[in-house]
Each structure stands twice: as C-alpha cells, then as structure tokens.
C-alpha cells in the first residue's frame, strides 16, 4: 500500500499533495503503514480514506478503488451506522470503540451480515482541532455466527417433560393444536384449558403478534425457529410484556413429513435485563481502558544503545515516563521482558538488523506492582550508508485483553464440547443412577478433584449420599447423615438455593461444629438442587486439600449439576409415568378444589351464563359488590340490573358474544342494591355454548376521569370570563340605551321611533340569552354523547364566541373546502376542544397575530395510518394555527401530560391539551402538533368520517300565547322584584289572576290557606331559607294535585339533577310571553 499511496494523485483531492500534508497526517500515515493491525485513516471534511495492507481485505472488491475516496462513497451500504460514530468522534474529540458490531455490507453484489470489532480515535492538529479519524478493527463474523450456531445446537438437546423447569408444549397439525403442555407452560400463559384447542384460539394475543404465522412457516418449511429474548405480550397479568427464549422444532412422522411442532420457552426477562446492564458496564470499562492505553511509540538510537518513548509506551512497559522521554538504556528495557520471551525477542532483533525486514513480535513484560502484559511490537530499522543499523523505531500495542480473550475462547470451546458430550451420553441413559454416575465421574476427572457425587434429601431432614465417584485416594461418601451436620448457616444457604464454595473448611468459622472437615472435605463446591422450589438434593465436588475454586470452575460445576439433575428428572418422570393414571383422578379433584377457592376469593365478579344470557352461576363477589345474592341473579338475565341507557348496547354485545366474538373492556352500569349504579368493565368469551365472564368495578376510575374533564372545562370558562363580561356590557348598554330613549320619547309625547327602540332592546336581550345558554351548556358536567356533526355549522355557530375570545388584536380566518364529511362525536366536547385550542393560540400571541381554523377531508392508507397510530380510512381534519411564540422540542415532549403547562402560576392548570387528547383518542381519532419557535404552532385533530346521515334541526316557531281560562289563578314566587313585576305583568296580560310571594315562607302560608291556586310558578334559587324545590315539596304536601312550573336561569335541571316528578315543568330565563303562556297553558291542561 505504500507504493499505491505514493503513486496516488492526492493533489486532485481535498487532502492536497503529500509535501503539503500537516505533521499530524504524516505521523498517522507512518503509524498506519508500519502497523501489522488492519489500520485506516479518514482525513479531512470528506473523511478521505488511507489504509495499510492489513486493512485492504476489509473493503473486499472495493480495494484499491477505495483509496483516497470519501468515506460516504466507500461505505454507502453501512453509512447509516458509521456516520453517527464518525460525527461523535469529530464533534467531541473522544475515541469510540465497539465489539461485534453488526454491519450489513455488500459483498459480491449482495448484502451480507458481518460483525466487527473496531475503534475510531481522533487525530488532532497542532491547534488541538480534530482533523481526521484513526481506525483499527478486525472482522468477528465467523466467531459470532459460530456462537449463534452453538447456542442453537444446545437448544435442540433440551428435552423436558412435566417435571422439567422449562415451559414445554407439543403441537400437531397445520392448525397447531395442543397435544401436551407442562405445568411451567400453563403457568407461563396463565391458562389451563388448552389441550385439544389451537394456539390461535387459546392465545389470540400471540396470534396478533405474528407468532402463529411463525408456526405456520416452521410447519411448512420443516425448519426450526429459535427466538432469544423476544418480547411477547400475554393476556395474563393485564397484558404484561415479557422476554422469552423459545424454540419451535418441527417433529416428523414415520414418513419423514412434518406432523407437529415441539415448543420450549423460558422467561428470560430478568436475565435479559441483567445481561443488558452487564454489557453496558463492560462497554464503559472497555472504553475507559482503551482510552488510557492506546498505542505507544518508541525510538531506539542503536549506536547509543538508548531508547526514547512516549508516555503510553512507558506505562505499558512499567518505565518512568520522564526517564523514557529522555532516553533509557536498551538493557533497562530488556530487563522488563518475561524471561521465557527474552531470547526470542533478541533473535528477532538480530534478524531485523541482518536482513532489514519489518520487526513484528508479541511478548510479555513484567510491570512492577502490576499485572503481566502482552505487547505486540512492530517497527522498521534505518541503516547508515555503511549498512549498520542506526535508528530503530516502531509502535507497541497492548494486546493483553486479546490474549486473554483467545485463551478464554479456547477454554470455553473445550468446556462446551465437554458439556455437549456429557449431555449426549446422559440423554441416551434411562436409569437415574447411571446418569448421576456419568456426571460425577466426568466432572471429577476434568477438574482433578478427589471425589464428586450426588445426594438427596429424604424423610425431610436426612441426607442420603447417592451415586458418587472417587479417584481412589479417598473413600466415596456413603450412607445417611442428619441435615444438621451442615450447621445452621450452611443449611439455610442450601435451602435458599445458594451454591456453597470454600477453600479450607478447617480455617472457616462457618464449618465450626460440623462434621465436614472430619469427612475429609477440606475444600469443595456444593450445588443445592431444587425441585418445585424445594431443596431436594445436591451435587458436590471436593478436595482433601485446600484449593481456590475459580469462577469458571464453579460455573461449570453448577451447569453439570443442573444438566444432570434435569436428566435425572426426566428419568424419574419416565419411571413415574406408570403411576400417573392412578394419581390423575386425585389430581383432577385437587385442581377442581383450587379453582373453586379462586372462584370464592376473587375480588372480580366471575360468572357463567348460557348463550341466551341467563346466568347459571356467579361467584360471591357479586353479592359483595352489588348486594344481590346468587339466588336473586341465577336463572335470570341481567336486564333488570342494567341501566336503562345501557340495555341496547348490552344486548348487542351479548349477541356478538353468541356469534363467537370476544368481549374485552366493555363497560355498562349495573344497579346496586344499596347505592345506585356501579360502572363495570367486562371481559367475556363464549366456549362450549356458555358465556364465561369477569367484571371489574371501575366506578371510581370513571368518576375521577369525569372530574378531570370538568376541571378542564371550568378552566376554559375562566379563560372566557373577560370576553363574556365585555359582551354583556355591550348588550346591557344597548338595552339600557333603548329603554332611556323610550322614556324620553314617551315624555315628549312622540311615538315615531318606539318600535325601533323596542326592537333594539329585544335583539340585545336575545343575544344575551343565547350567550348565557352557550356558556352554561359549555360549563355543565355531562358524559360523552356522540352524535353526527356538521363541522362547518358547528364552527360557524362558534365564530362569534371565538372572535370575542381572542379580541380585536388577532385576525381570525376560517377556511372550509366544499362538501365536508360528517363526523360522530360529542358536540359539547368538540366545542370545548376547539375553544381551548383557540385560547392557547390567543395566549401564544400576546402582541396580536393571525389565528386560522381550517378543515379538510383526508384519507390514510396502511402506512400513513400506522405512522399516526390510526386505523386506515377516511378522516376529517380540523386544525387551529397561530403565528405566536411556538414551542421547543422539550415542551413538545411533555405537552400532552396532565398538569404540564408553560403558563405563569395561576394562568392555567395544564389540563387543556391532555383532556383534548383524551377526548380525540376516545373518539377513535388522533392529535398531532407542528410547532416552530418564533413562527407559531398548528394543532390537528383527526376524527373518523361518519357514514350515517346528518339530521338538520327543524326551526321551531313559537305559537301565540293562549289566553287564560275563567278565574284561573297563579301563585308566583320569586325573590327578585323586577322578575316578579315582569312575570306578574305577563300573567295579567294573558288573563290570569296573579298572587305574588317574595320568599318561600310567604308562599307556604298562601299554599296552606283556602285561596284558589290553579298553578304554582316558582324560581328555584330563592333566598331566605327555602329554595324553590322545598316550596314545591310543601305544595305537594298540602295540595297534592297542584301543577308546578319551575323557572330558573341555570342550564342544569332542578337542584341536585333529580328528575322532575309528574305534574312538574321547567322553563329557563329569559323567556318571551309566548313561551311562558304556552308552558302555563300546557301545565294547567295536564293538571
């Protein structure tokens, strides 16, 4: 590569000709070309590539074309991975390293899965700026793929039955019907009733996640599938997501055709989390170590026999950095080499001096007070004109970790082969004793131990020493011993499943008072073996002399113990299979009792009904929750318990269940025996002609949600107060002015403009009434009531309120296309949402600006809908845009969180957007925000198109007020003298006799008298101790058949929202003479 680099036309690139290269680049290229490791340099803004011979195989067919090319061109196939890594090194000036990094490289024109260990280090100029990146790395694809294949082979060897700790199931046929599932599998999925049913039927949630399709592929291809730490959402425990290791292994019949699938799964959630934490910790440690050692540079003045080096080389070899920089004797450096490597290094140096070839050798150095290090040194010798060596320079790289990894890899491979061989030998054995003998002897010989063997716990407190092995120097452990020989501390540890390891039992206080040392057990490792969480046996390896057990040895002992114990469990299971049928009847009876206990203690309402909805059985939770006994419920449908407003929906849902659909989170209200209605959330399924149901009381949750909605609405009402007050002042000015002009004209005896002034006052009054009704309707508490909506008409009805809310400094623009689709939503909630967005936009433009309300019809296909978390289909889009301050990315991340607000304290609760988001999602829509700081914000609401018709309201024309009958008398009760005067005058104009009372007490006195009263008209909100409802109660007590008409200025119904009784009516203020006369006539005619 040196020749290629010298012959390259660098002047044609941004790097420029070599004679003008900066010192940093020259040094880096020199190191690169003299390094035996694959090394490359990426230089300049374009990261143009320079590399050595060892690196040339990495780009494969792109070599030598890659030389001098920008990194983006060379690595276009993996640029999305390495570009951020380059950017991080250049931006921060800190090095980067990664292990087994997946890079999908193109090789031979095809993308290939490759893995790499590599590092990026910054190359700095004289001013400290990062000018390039120094890269070294090696390919690890073969190692990674070998390890992956090895894990798959191990998985295939795992054969578990009912007693096996792993979750196992056997499926047959193309629909994957369960033939068998062990207890661990049933506990994993949270179901018992699965044998004879398909996976899709039993576990619909895994079908939705693609696992049934994966089973189909395994069955069709005959190729096994294995998953590692795969996230799976199971219906148990509320749909918690777990990480599973699993294998789908096809099974074949006698003809060699795939007939079923063997499934084995292990919950690896906690292990995966621990491994992730461990990998993160190891990566941080590795990066720290890499940044500290890097590459050391040395320079040997051969005639002077002295070596100078940088600080990194000095620290690698254990030299004083200051002395090394000044130069130390060659003999001082040689003294640090490991004695076993010294002659080899000297011979290599002599060969370099004799031939002039490159120097490359690996050797160990002894660092005083520190660990022994492996170093890979490379260099070149420069000779004088007479051929004698003059200067010998090179680099030294710490390869201690690589050497350790190589040794560990060899040891791990040997250990895996040992485990595989032992597992295969144990697999073909059916006798438990033979299995234990194989494991004890194989491990004892491998570890060079004195003896190894198994023990079992019998009779509750006895250790029975079973099959064991000895090397002949000491007798095997035989017979029985009480569990107390272990001592209290060791016994508790064994019961808890903790592995015991000790170097010298004679010197440990833990063994004081035990017989362990007397048995010739000086050092050893003991692995408790649990079955169903119970200390059932153990495996031991001992030595008659002190010994320090390494972590690798302990791990191997634990693995052999568990492997052998699983094989013993398999053998025991086969031996006990003959007893299984005899025990089956008792086990069924026990499980039935367990299910009955769960039925009795469950806090949820469990029930079984026929397909016709008639209850066959209910658990005690029904009586605890609703107060009704089982005898009052069984044999009937639940229609008598259902809220009248919910009956049609409930019947529809029961019908869906009868057709095979599954009910999930269906809500309705059931009548309690003691305290009104309770809101229930149902899950139900039809099986074998019966409905199996469970219901949870969510009344408190729904009430809390309603309170949040009401708080948000009242916040918006507060925002509207200023604008509403301004509007009312204008309207009152019009009314007052008209009345004053009427008074003036009447005093002048003129009647020419009276009709005009009367019209002005009536118009202002109507506008005030409409504004009051809209505000009250907006603020009152009410549940969602979806109905078809014409969005253009709704916005048009709100336009006047919007313009008053934002004020004159903000220009309001409303943009509608033609033929807008209808939507199905709660009109009050939609108005609430739009008004909140308008208020937010107004607050974002304190100095004025433009507010735009825009609508559009849009269609989202599969991908567009998925990007917005919507179902594909047609949607009506409504947006509110402003030209205000905009929002930062940080604010956008939290904008939908309840109580999050950027407004000053007291200026807002932070509920607005969160409640709008909840309303839109509850309406099966979505909310999105686009915002640029300093330019403004646009918020889009996407609501599903409604396919049904729109029903336009029919204008109501009030008929003339009917006249009174002969002698009909009305008792009028109101604490406001103006209202009393006005209504009294109206009654007189209509021909009614009117008796007036200013408070409740006076009205009651009249009601108890003999005065003729045909109708009671009373305000609800009376002062003076009695309200209108209480006056009505007194009227019913003394005059049971008296009709009662309430008048009120509030939008809600009569106090407490109680329903009106027969013979009662309601009219809201303000009202016209025609409306009041019509209502009075209706009440009297009905009465």
Query: Do the domain assignments include residue 405?
Result: no
For the domain that residue 508 is a member of, what is the CATH number? Answer: 3.30.450.40
State yes or no: pLDDT of 936 exceeds 90.
yes
Query: Do the domain assignments include residue 1030?
Result: yes
> pLDDT value at position 776?
57
Query: Do the domain assignments include residue 408?
Result: no
State yes or no: pLDDT of 625 exceeds 50.
yes
Phi, psi (5° rounding) for residue 743? Answer: -60, -40
**Do 516 and 549 belong to one domain?**
yes
CA 750 to chain centre: 79
For the domain that residue 912 is a member of, what is the CATH number? Answer: 3.30.565.10
> pLDDT value at position 153?
52
Taking the C-alpha atoms of residue 691 and residue 941, their distance in angstroms, rounded to an integer, is 39
> pLDDT value at position 312?
86
Mean pLDDT calculated for residue range 802-824:
90
**Do 27 and 126 belong to one domain?**
yes
Taking the C-alpha atoms of residue 886 and residue 102, their distance in angstroms, rounded to an integer, is 40
Taking the C-alpha atoms of residue 1017 and residue 964, their distance in angstroms, rounded to an integer, is 15
**Do 553 and 679 belong to one domain?**
no
Query: Do the domain assignments include residue 413?
Result: no
**Do 869 and 945 belong to one domain?**
yes
Note whether 437 and 470 are within 8 A (CB): no
Single residue among 107, 139, 171 that ends a domain in this structure: 139
> pLDDT value at position 292?
45
Write b or e for each residue in 592-615: b if 16 or more Cβ atoms lie within 10 A of its Cβ, otherwise e: eeeeeeeeeeeebbbbbbeeebeb
Query: Do the domain assignments include residue 152?
Result: no
Q: Find all residues with CB under 8 Å of 154, minimum gap 6, and list them.
A: 420
**Do 378 and 463 belong to one domain?**
no
Single residue among 783, 801, 823 that ends a domain in this structure: 783
State yes or no: pLDDT of 289 exceeds 50.
no
Note whether 806 and 842 are within 8 A (CB): yes
Query: Do the domain assignments include residue 552?
Result: yes
Mean pLDDT calculated for residue range 788-803:
89
State yes or no: pLDDT of 933 exceeds 90.
yes
Taking the C-alpha atoms of residue 665 and residue 681, their distance in angstroms, rounded to an integer, is 5
Mean pLDDT calculated for residue range 220-227:
92
- More confident site: 146 or 554: 554
Sorting pLDDT into bands at 50, 70 and 90, what band is 201?
A: very high
> pLDDT value at position 485?
74
> pLDDT value at position 972?
92
Sorting pLDDT into bands at 50, 70 and 90, what band is 290?
A: very low
- More confident site: 910 or 756: 756
Q: Nearest 10 degrees: CA dihedral of 418, 419, 421, 424?
A: 170
Average predicted confidence (pLDDT) for the chain: 84
Taking the C-alpha atoms of residue 992 and residue 1014, their distance in angstroms, rounded to an integer, is 10
> pLDDT value at position 486?
73
Mean pLDDT calculated for residue range 349-356:
92
3-state secondary structure string across 989-1043:
HCCCEEEEECCHHHHHHHHCCCCCCCEEEEECCCCCCCCHHHHHHHHHHHCCCCC
What pLDDT, in 10s, does the model give residues 962-1000? 656 667 899 999 888 878 887 888 888 888 999 999 899
- More confident site: 447 or 978: 447
Helix (H) or strand (E) holding 169: strand 167-172
What pLDDT, in 10s, does the model give residues 82-95? 999 999 999 999 99
Q: Where are the alpha helices (DSSP H) in 335-480?
A: 339-355, 400-427, 432-447
> pLDDT value at position 161?
57
**Do 793 and 925 belong to one domain?**
yes
Sorting pLDDT into bands at 50, 70 and 90, what band is 961?
A: low
**Do 792 and 779 belong to one domain?**
no
Strand partners, 244: 230, 267
pTM over 0.85: no
Q: Nearest 10 degrees: CA dihedral of 84, 87, 88, 91?
A: -160
State yes or no: pLDDT of 250 exceeds 90.
yes
Among 794, 817, 721, which Cα is nearest to 952's?
Answer: 794
Sorting pLDDT into bands at 50, 70 and 90, what band is 154?
A: very low
Q: Which of 225-229, 476-480, 1040-1044 has the lowest mean pLDDT?
A: 476-480
Mean pLDDT calculated for residue range 493-511:
85
Number of domains in the chain: 8
Query: Do the domain assignments include residue 680?
Result: yes
Q: Which residue has the tokens 């560990």?
A: 408
**Do 357 and 454 belong to one domain?**
no
- More confident site: 578 or 405: 405
Residues above pLDDT 70, as percent of the chain: 87
**Do 17 and 125 belong to one domain?**
yes
> pLDDT value at position 426?
85
> Which segment, 751-765, 951-965, 1038-1052, is predicted with the most confidence on average?
1038-1052
Single residue among 904, 924, 955 that ends a domain in this structure: 955
What pLDDT, in 10s, does the model give residues 37-61? 999 999 999 999 999 999 999 998 9
Mean pLDDT calculated for residue range 106-127:
91
**Do 119 and 7 belong to one domain?**
yes
Helix (H) or strand (E) holding 252: strand 241-252
What pLDDT, in 10s, does the model give residues 827-877? 878 888 898 899 889 989 999 999 999 999 999 998 888 888 888 999 999
**Do 640 and 715 belong to one domain?**
no
Note whether 573 and 531 are within 8 A (CB): no
**Do 988 and 1080 belong to one domain?**
yes
Helix (H) or strand (E) holding 557: helix 551-601
Domain with 355, as residue range(s), is: 294-398
> pLDDT value at position 781?
43
Query: Do the domain assignments include residue 596?
Result: no
For the domain that residue 178 is a member of, what is the CATH number? Answer: 3.30.450.20
Among 900, 965, 972, 887, which Cα is nearest to 932's?
Answer: 887
CB neighbours of residue 712 within 10 Å:
23
């Amino acid at each position: 590569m040196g020749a290629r680099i010298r012959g390259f036309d660098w002047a044609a690139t941004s790097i420029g000709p070599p004679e003008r290269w900066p010192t940093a680049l020259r040094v880096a290229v020199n190191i690169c070309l003299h390094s035996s490791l694959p090394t490359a340099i990426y230089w300049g803004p374009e990261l143009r590539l320079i590399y050595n011979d060892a690196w040339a195989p990495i780009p494969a067919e792109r070599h030598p074309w890659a030389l001098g090319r920008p990194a983006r061109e060379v690595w276009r196939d993996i640029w999305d991975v390495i570009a951020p890594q380059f950017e991080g090194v250049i931006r921060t000036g800190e090095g980067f390293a990664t292990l087994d990094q997946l890079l999908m490289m193109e090789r031979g024109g095809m993308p290939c899965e490759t893995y790499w260990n590599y590092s990026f280090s910054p190359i700095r100029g004289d001013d400290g700026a990062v000018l390039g990146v120094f890269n070294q790395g090696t390919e690890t694809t073969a190692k990674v793929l070998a390890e992956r294949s090895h894990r798959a082979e191990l998985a295939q060897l795992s054969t578990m039955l009912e007693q096996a700790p792993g979750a196992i199931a056997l499926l047959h046929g193309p629909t994957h019907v369960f033939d068998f599932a062990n207890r661990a599998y049933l506990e994993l999925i949270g179901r018992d009733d699965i044998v004879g049913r398909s996976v899709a039927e039993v576990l619909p949630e895994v079908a939705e996640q693609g696992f049934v399709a994966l089973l189909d592929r395994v069955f069709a291809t005959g190729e096994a599938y294995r998953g590692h730490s795969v996230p799976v959402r199971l219906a148990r425990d509320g749909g918690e997501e777990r990480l599973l290791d699993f294998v789908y292994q096809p099974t074949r019949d006698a003809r060699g055709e795939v007939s079923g699938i063997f499934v084995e799964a292990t919950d690896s959630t906690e292990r995966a989390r621990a491994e992730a934490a461990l990998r993160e910790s190891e990566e941080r440690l590795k990066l720290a170590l890499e940044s500290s050692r890097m590459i050391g540079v040395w320079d040997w003045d051969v005639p002077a026999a002295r070596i100078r080096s940088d600080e990194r080389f000095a620290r690698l070899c254990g030299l004083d950095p200051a002395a090394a920089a000044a130069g130390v004797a060659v003999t001082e450096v040689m003294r640090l080499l490991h004695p076993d490597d010294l002659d080899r290094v000297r011979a290599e140096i002599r060969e370099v001096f004799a031939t002039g070839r490159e120097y490359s050798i690996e050797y160990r150095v002894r660092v005083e007070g520190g660990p022994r290090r492996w170093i890979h040194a490379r260099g070149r010798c420069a000779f004088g004109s007479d051929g004698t060596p003059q200067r010998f320079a090179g680099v030294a790289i710490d390869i201690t970790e690589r050497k350790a990894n190589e040794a560990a890899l060899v040891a791990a491979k040997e250990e895996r082969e040992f485990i595989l061989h032992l597992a295969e030998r144990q697999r073909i054995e059916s006798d438990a004793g033979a299995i234990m003998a194989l494991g004890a002897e194989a491990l004892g010989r491998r570890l060079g131990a004195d003896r190894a063997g198994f023990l079992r716990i019998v009779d509750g407190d006895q250790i029975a020493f079973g099959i064991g092995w000895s090397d002949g120097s000491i007798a095997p452990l035989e017979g029985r011993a009480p569990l107390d020989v272990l001592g209290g501390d060791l016994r508790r540890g064994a019961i808890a499943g903790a592995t015991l390891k000790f170097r010298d039992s004679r010197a440990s206080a833990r063994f004081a008072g035990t017989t362990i040392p007397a048995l010739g057990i000086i050092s050893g490792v003991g692995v408790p073996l649990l079955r169903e969480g119970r200390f059932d046996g153990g495996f031991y390896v001992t030595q008659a002399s002190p010994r320090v057990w390494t972590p690798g040895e302990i791990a191997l002992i634990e693995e052999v113990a568990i492997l052998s114990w699983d094989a013993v469990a398999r053998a025991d299971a086969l031996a006990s299979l003959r007893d299984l049928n005899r025990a089956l009847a008792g086990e069924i009876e026990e499980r039935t009792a367990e299910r009955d206990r769960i039925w009795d203690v469950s806090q949820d309402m469990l029930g079984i009904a026929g397909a016709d909805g008639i209850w066959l059985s209910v658990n005690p939770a029904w009586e605890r929750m609703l107060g009704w006994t089982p005898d009052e419920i069984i044999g009937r449908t639940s229609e008598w318990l259902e809220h009248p407003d919910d009956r049609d929906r409930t019947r529809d849902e029961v019908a869906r269940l009868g057709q095979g659909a599954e009910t999930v989170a269906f809500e309705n209200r059931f009548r309690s025996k003691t305290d009104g209605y309770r809101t229930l959330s149902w899950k139900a399924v039809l099986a074998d002609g019966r409905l199996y149901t469970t219901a949870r009381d969510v009344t408190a949750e729904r009430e809390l949600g309603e309170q949040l909605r009401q708080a948000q609405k009242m916040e918006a009402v507060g925002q509207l107060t200023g604008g509403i007050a301004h509007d009312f002042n204008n309207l009152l000015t019009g009314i007052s002015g008209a009345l004053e002009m009427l008074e003036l004209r009447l005093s002048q005896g003129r009647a020419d403009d009276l009709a005009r002034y009367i019209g002005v006052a009536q118009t202002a009054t109507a506008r005030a009434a409409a504004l009051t009704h809209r505000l009250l309707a907006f603020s009152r508490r009410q549940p969602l009531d979806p109905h078809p909506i014409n969005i253009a008409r709704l916005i048009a009805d709100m336009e006047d309120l919007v313009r008053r809310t934002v004020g004159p400094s903000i220009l309001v623009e409303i943009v509608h296309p033609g033929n807008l689709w209808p939507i199905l939503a709660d009109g009050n909630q939609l108005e609430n949402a739009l008004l909140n967005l308008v208020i937010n936009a107004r607050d974002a433009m304190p100095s004025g600006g433009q507010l735009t309300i825009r609508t559009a019809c849009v269609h989202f296909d599969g991908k567009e809908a998925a990007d917005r978390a919507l179902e594909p289909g047609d949607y009506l889009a409504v947006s509110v845009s402003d030209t205000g301050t905009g929002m930062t990315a940080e604010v956008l991340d939290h904008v939908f969180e309840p109580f999050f607000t950027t407004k000053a304290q007291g200026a807002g609760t932070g509920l607005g957007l969160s409640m709008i988001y909840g309303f839109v999602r509850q309406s099966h829509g979505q909310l999105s925000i686009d915002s640029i700081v300093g330019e403004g914000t646009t918020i889009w609401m996407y609501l599903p198109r409604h396919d049904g018709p729109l029903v336009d309201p029919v204008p109501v024309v009030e008929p003339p007020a009917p006249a009174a009958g002969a002698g009909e008398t009305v008792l009028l009760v109101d604490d406001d003298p103006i209202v009393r005067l006005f209504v009294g005058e109206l009654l007189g104009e209509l021909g009614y006799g009117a008796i007036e009372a200013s408070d409740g007490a006076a009205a009651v006195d009249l009601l108890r008298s003999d005065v003729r009263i045909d109708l009671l008209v009373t305000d609800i909100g009376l002062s003076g101790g009695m309200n209108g409802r209480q006056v009505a109660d007194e009227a019913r007590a003394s005059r049971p058949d008296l009709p009662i008409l309430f008048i009120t200025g509030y939008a809600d119904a009569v106090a407490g929202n109680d329903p009106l009784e027969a013979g009662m009516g309601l009219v809201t203020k303000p009202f016209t003479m025609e409306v009041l006369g019509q209502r009075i006539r209706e009440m009297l005619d009905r009465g």
